[in-house]
Amino acid sequence: MSSQSGPCFSEAFENQFELLLKWRRDVRHFLPDPVSQEDLDHILTVADMAPSVGNSQPWRFVVVETQEARHAVYQSFKTANNAALSGYRGEKAKTYASLKLSGIEVAPVQLAVFCEQDPEQGAGLGRQTMPETLNYSVVSAIYNLWLAARIRGIGVGWVSILDPESVSATLGAPNSWQLVAYLCIGYPIQETDVPELETKGWQERTARESRIYSDRELRGADKVKKG
What is the CB neighbour count within 10 angstroms for residue 162?
24
Residue among 28 and 60 whose Cβ is closer to ligand FMN: 28
Which of 17, 20, 28, 24 has its CA nearest to residue 186?
28
Which is nearer to ligand FMN, 8 or 21 (by Cβ)?
Answer: 21
Helix (H, G, I), strand (E, B) or coil at 93: helix
Report H helices in the chain.
11-23, 37-47, 67-85, 90-98, 133-151, 164-171, 196-199, 215-220
Strands 59-63 and 155-159: unpaired
The distance of closest approach from Cβ of residue 35 to ligand FMN in the complex, given in angstroms and rounded to an integer, is: 19
Which residue number places its CB atom closest to ligand FMN?
195
**Minimum CB–partner distance for residue 182 and ligand FMN (Å):** 8
Cβ 150 to ligand FMN shortest distance, Å: 10
CA dihedral 152, 145, 212, 199 (to 10 degrees): 50
Q: Given the rule CB under 6 A, which residues bind ligand FMN?
A: 25-26, 28, 101-102, 158-161, 195, 197
The nearer residue to ligand FMN, 98 or 160, going by C-beta atoms, is 160
Nearer to ligand FMN, 23 or 213 (CB): 23
Least CB distance from residue 216 to ligand FMN, whole Å? 30
